[in-house]
Amino acid sequence: MTDTPAIQHPDRLRNGDFTQASEPLALFAGWMEEATRSEPNDPNAMALATAGADGFPDVRMVLLKGFDESGFVFFTNLDSAKARELRERPQAALAFHWKSLRRQVRIRGDVTPVSDDEADAYFATRARLAQIGAWASKQSSPLESRLAFEKAVAAVTARHPLGTIPRPPFWSGFRVAPIAIEFWHDRPFRLHDRIAFTRSRPDESWTKTSLYP
């Protein structure tokens, strides 16, 4: 899985005619391409909503690192709060908001871990300092001081002065297999365009519905 979308979208859908799209992943690929050109930073930033065993929802921003017909992928420390919650309740919701385009996409689906090979391949593409940080950070755990974190970074750097840094066994990714994808586009006077694609299982065909804004 790479940062380059695996889905090739058809002729680009203009603001006024995206509601004619018949397939959500192709439409998403087109919107992501446009966001990559127009957003000032992190067009792949998305809100990830989860819930733990206590039922309380939790949300945070993460980065989409790839998508195709099988789902939307992000990576994290497996000891983080998000990873623990996804193991307890393997369903999630995603939300993209591209302010420059006045667009939003919402996604819901079941969550599965990515393969070790996929995680290894992505980890190898990260900047060296990001790889070191993955080893040094005990994500979501209490931090006694910034100095303690910096010492951990220094210790990992000393262990790996040269050569390849392997992926930590506690760092990997998750894939959200969509069963619902909703597209929203701003229009004047809040008369927005909004369409939803739904299915019961990831291997089924999509049903498209237009929604009141």
What is the C-alpha separation between 187 and 50, in angstroms, rounded? 30
Residue 10 in tokens:
């058809």
What is the C-alpha separation between 52 and 129, in angstroms, rounded? 31
What are phi and psi for residue 14, nearest 5 degrees? -75, 165
Catalytic residue among 37, 146, 190, 201: 190
3-state SS, residue 170? coil
- Cβ contacts of residue 189 below 8 Å, gap of 6+? none
3-state SS, residue 119? helix
Whether 126 sits among the annotated catalytic residues: the reply is no
Active site residues: 190
